Each structure stands twice: as C-alpha cells, then as structure tokens.
Amino acid sequence: MCGIVGIIGKENTTDILVQGLEKLEYRGYDSAGIFVTGKNKEDHLVKSLGRIADLQSKITPEVQGTVGIGHTRWATHGKPSERNAHPHTSSNHQFILVHNGVIENFEELKQEFLQNKQLEGETDTEIVVQLIEHFAEDGLVTKEAFKKALTVIKGSYAFALIDKNDPDTIYVAKNKSPLLIGLGDGFNVICSDAMAMLAETNHFVEISDGEMVIVKADKVEIEDEKGNVVYRESYEAQFDLSDIGKGTYPYYMLKEIDDQPTVMRRIIREYTNTLGDAVIDKKIIEKLTASDRIYIVACGTSYNAGWVGKAILEKMTNIPVEVHLSSEFGYNMPLLSEKPFFIFLSQSGETADSRQVLVQITELGLPSLTLTNVAGSTLSREADYTLLLHAGPEIAVASTKAYTAQIAVLAVLAKAAGDNKGNQLSLDFDIAHELSVIAAVMETIIDEKMTISQLVEDYLSTTRNAFYIGRGVDYYVSMEASLKLKEISYIQAEGFAAGELKHGTIALIEEGTPVFGIITDQKTAAHTRGNLKEVESRGAHNVVIALASFAKETDQLIIPDVHPLLTPLVSVIPTQLIAYFATLQRGYDVDKPRNLAKSVTVE
Ligand code: F6R
C-alpha cells in the first residue's frame, strides 16, 4: 500500500523515479509525486492526482537532479488530491518526506508540537515532516531531528527524507511497512519492492524495524535504535526484469491466470523428489505433526485458499485445522489448543493484519510457518519457517496464481506431514503426478477462453448481482470466485454454501439472477444440483461448472477429472476467467480496480 522510490548519485534521477513508480503502481494509484534536487541544482516538486501517467504528463524537461524521492499513494488520511499527494514539505521547505503506513497519534502530535504551524493538507505524513522541522528549529541536526521524531511517532511507517540544504543524503527509517535499499556502483536506491529498481540493480539490503539508514551515493549506513552501526549482507533478487513484464498480454491478470500451469510444474520441481515424495524441511514437519491443532491465518484470497488447505490438511494428517481472518484473530483471539501450530498465508508477505497476529503469537512462544510468494518479506523473516510459493511476481491486484500456488504448496505440506504420520491416504497420494495432471487440466480450461467470454456475455452483461454456490470445497472455491468477480467487475457477488441459501439468502433470487454452481464432489453433487433447481424455479439463470465424472450434458463448463483432493485447483480457473471477461466487457481496468491496492500494509 503506497509505493516509495528514491535514488541518489545518478543523473537521470527523474526517469528512474518515474519508471520505479510505474512498477509500484499496483501498491496504490490515486495520486503520485516526485521531488528531485542535487548539489547546485534547482529543487523540483511535481505532484498529481491520478495515475503515474498523469504525473508523467506534468513533468517538464527541466525537472532534473541527482537525488530524488517518489511516491504513489493509496489514501488513508485525507482524500486523494494533489494537496494530499506525497512528497510533503515542511513549512520552510527544507524537509521533504514520503511515507507509507499510518501514524496513529498524529492528532496528539499536532496538539503537542505543532500548534504554531500552518498545515496544508489532511495527511498524517505532513505532521511528521513538520515535526522534523520543529525539532530542527530546536537546534537538532537533521539526523537527530528525524530520530527524535521517530521516538514520538506511533504507528506504521516507511519514510524517506531529504534535507534540501544537504542533498547528499536520503534518510530512511521503517516500522512495520516494507522498505529496501538497493546497492549500485556509485549510486544507491530505495524502494518498497525490489521490482521497482530491478532496472538499476539486483542487489538489495533489508532494513529492520526501528533502524535508521543514511543513504549516500557511495555508501549506506544502517544504525539500530541505540545508534550502533549494523552490518548486513546484501542479497540478490530472485527475479529479473522479464519476470515483471506483461509480455504480449493486455493485462497482468490474464498473464497470471495463464502462468498457473507453469507455477504448478515449478512447485513440483521445488518440492518433490524423483520418487515423487514431498520434500519439505524436516523441522517444519516435526513441529507441525507434533501439534494438536493447526491455525491458518490470512486475509482475502489467501484466507479463501486457507479453507481449501484445511480440507486437504485434515484428510492427510488427521490434525484439526481452524481457518481465521487475520483482522479478526488479532483482536478476538480464540481459545487456543495446548500445542497449536500457526500457518500464515500471504502472497505479499507484508499484510499488516496478518503480521500483527504473527507478532502476538510469537510473543506467546508459539511456532509459525509463513507461505509467501516474496522471499525476505516481513512475514517470512518474522515467522519460524517459510515455504515459498514460487509463483513468480504477481502484479495484478486481483490474486490468481498465488491462490493456486498456496493450495498446491499446502497440499505438498499435507503430504509430507501425512506420510510422516503414516496416514494411508497420504502414503497412496502421488503428489508429483497429481499436480502434473492439474497443470495439464489447467491448460485445457485456459484454452476455453472464448467459451468463457461468451458465457459472460450471455449471463453477466447487465446484471447487478450474481451468486456462486457449492458445498464443501466447492463452497470454498465459491467464496474465492465471488471475491474475484466483485473486486474487479463491481458486480455484487456472493459465494454461498449451496444448502444454506434456502435459509434466507434465496430471497435475493429474482428473474434473471445469475447463479453459478460448482460441482466437483461426488458426495454433494446431487444436493448442489437440487439447490440449483430451487433457484432456477425462482427465475435464476444457472451456469454449472462441473467435474467430468459428475457432469451432465447440459452443463456449461465441464472440467476433466483430477484427484478429488485437488479439485479447487482447477474449478477456480474458469471463475478467474469469468471475473476477467466480466471486467473487460464492462470497460473497467482489470489490473487496478477502484479503491484497492495490492500488498495491504495498513491494518
Ligand atoms: C484479492 C486479493 C486480496 C489479498 C489479501 C491478502 O484478489 O488479492 O484479497 O489476497 O489482501 O494479501 P496477501 O496474500 O498478500 O496477504
């Protein structure tokens, strides 16, 4: 949420900042801005409401410098406007600041320190830059004024600060919000996500919460809270520029849907051996199998993947699994079992709601595992163990390949744990083979784009609302299918347990209401068909997505059979494409839906 870039020590600063912001646009896209300056150079502050392209159109050729910071915003405090866009400047224009996060005590800070300051906008960030100026006016040098501000601020932040009287330095600090330093030859960069600066460098250094970093063109100095210098190795980014391009695709989402068979094959390579066994760090399996209950904690699409994970883990390990929303768990922690094991699911590894749960359970001394797509992300660093999703960068705001990768990695984990416990179902389960069948079936469905596009035209072109229904794992996929549809096409969609409709929600069915039924489970197929009949009798227009074994000739989408434990990996694919085409046909931006941003780093 919100993206930060910065560079010091290069001539083409403006271009680098803008290109970096374009790569970070997925993190927020309601307004943007840059500040560039340099020794004996003029200062330039350019801000714009809207997207990076809008900002770009306001940048004139004289906007040049050798040091600069930039920001793309997802509004929290203060509506999207040019005034509220970052960078923010202090009253005397000496300090310029960009911020990602939320300052919780900004009202108190305003009252205590800034009564005499004229504030321009409504953001919490402006309070911080004024606070730095206030402490500098008290006689502190910039670094100390910044440090002092950090001691009184409560909340989450990643900051990059320039003192225009000393344009040889960018001051950086973070707490709970992501920020990286990228190392170059004669220059250095900062960014919220490595992909923003991959064109400049692929060597990055992580910053820990509470540290301050002094970034100069030729050196980077990290200090801990006590002022001690910290030495930290850099790491090499695991992907390159070609991984983060759209290629010939019109949208990232379509590319990412199409990527899924490749991701399945990559997961087979990463997590199974030539005998077809699951290969997972023994320590993880020992901790997991020693537990008496598994708690899966996640948000949004990852939460929906968690429910499918529960179904697989319980069958393979016989350990009960609970699935929780991070934002609820953090403040209403359920009674825990005696030996709990926590699994955090997070594509980005940065979701603040999930992180606050991880912090709490770590304080309780409980074991944790993060499944994430981003190596080195906060949830990965702070959990006891990590399993990477290997899905490749996911850039479309609507998550697709991370969902299926999470389920596939959970299945591998379940297989390794089940084998360890001698569970017969697990011992008989050839995970490498079954996932390769999944990859092939995914390809078959992906090839049906024209059919799916036509279905969308027939059933969703004018509707205001829609339902997905199913039972068991088909219900779990219905939850994800409806989230996907509503978040990008703005059709009000609900995923419902098919048998529960008649207990109230069926009242919403009217003439022409589209109802998508998902049928992949022998036990429940007939019952879901019964529920579909009930809504049809009340005017619904039904579309059935069924596994071949349980399909009828009249079903609109028939999916080749796969292993019964893994059906969500294939039944979700048509629903992703349905969301994609519904959005396209309604003329909305598929990759950047309104009000949203990827990587939700505020609670
Ligand atoms: C929906 C979507 C979100 C995320 C959620 C959690 O398409 O992407 O619902 O799944 O914000 O994000 P992560 O997985 O990064 O923790």
Q: What is the pLDDT of residues 80-101, one digit of tens each?
A: 999 999 999 999 999 999 999 9
pTM for the complete prediction?
A: 0.90
Identify whether residues 83 and 178 lie together within a single domain.
yes
Residue 175 phi, psi dihedral angles, 5° rounding? -150, 110
User: What does the angle CA 331 – CA 334 – CA 339 come to, to the nearest 5 degrees?
Assistant: 125
What is the CB neighbour count within 10 angstroms for residue 235?
15
Return the C-alpha torsion angle 219, 223, 227, 228, nearest 10: -90
Identify whether residues 259 and 214 lie together within a single domain.
no
Q: Which residues pair with 161 in a beta bridge?
A: 97, 171
Is 561 within a domain? Answer: yes
pLDDT band at 174 (very low <50, low <70, confident <90, very high): very high
Identify whether residues 235 and 258 lie together within a single domain.
no
Helices 106-113 & 124-137, crossing angle to 10 degrees?
A: 30
* Pocket test residue of 301, 388, 484, 490 for ligand 1, highest count of atoms within 8 A of CB: 301
Identify whether residues 432 and 452 lie together within a single domain.
no
Q: Is 351 in the pocket of ligand 1 (CB under 6 A)?
A: yes
pLDDT band at 59 (very low <50, low <70, confident <90, very high): very high
Q: What is the pLDDT of residues 423-474, one digit of tens each?
A: 999 999 999 999 999 999 999 999 999 999 999 999 999 999 999 999 999 9
Mean pLDDT of 387-405: 97
Tokens describing residue 348: 């980005």
Q: Is 348 in the pocket of ligand 1 (CB under 6 A)?
A: yes
Helices 401-420 & 300-317, crossing angle to 10 degrees?
A: 20
The total of structural domains in the chain comes to: 3
- Domain finish residue from 242, 271, 306: 242
Q: Is 410 in the pocket of ligand 1 (CB under 6 A)?
A: no
Mean pLDDT of 66-77: 92
Q: What is the pLDDT of residues 331-364, one digit of tens each?
A: 999 999 999 999 999 999 999 999 999 999 999 9
Q: Is 300 in the pocket of ligand 1 (CB under 6 A)?
A: yes
Mean pLDDT of 34-63: 94
- Domain finish residue from 447, 464, 489: 447
User: Which residue's CA is minimally distant from atom 10 of ligand 1?
Assistant: 301
Sign of the C-alpha dihedral computed for residues 23, 192, 78 and 113 taken in this order: negative
Relative to beta strand 44-49, strand 3-8 is unpaired
**Nearest one of 257, 252, 260, 271 to 195, comparing CA atoms:** 252
Identify whether residues 228 and 279 lie together within a single domain.
no
Identify whether residues 410 and 478 lie together within a single domain.
no
- Domain finish residue from 242, 275, 308: 242
CATH of the domain at 391: 3.40.50.10490
Is 232 within a domain? Answer: yes
Identify whether residues 408 and 498 lie together within a single domain.
no
117 is catalytic: no
Question: 462: Cβ–Cβ under 8 A, 6 or more apart, which residues?
Answer: none
Identify whether residues 197 and 67 lie together within a single domain.
yes
534: DSSP letter: H
Instruction: Quote the domain boundaries for residue 420.
Output: 246-447
Tokens describing residue 561: 């059979």
Is 416 within a domain? Answer: yes
What is the CB neighbour count within 10 angstroms for residue 57?
10
CB-based contact 411:437 (threshold 8 Å): no
Could you tell me the maximum CA-CA distance found in the chain, to the nearest angstrom?
80
Q: Which residues pair with 293 in a beta bridge?
A: 340
What is the H or E stretch that residue 180 is in? strand 180-183
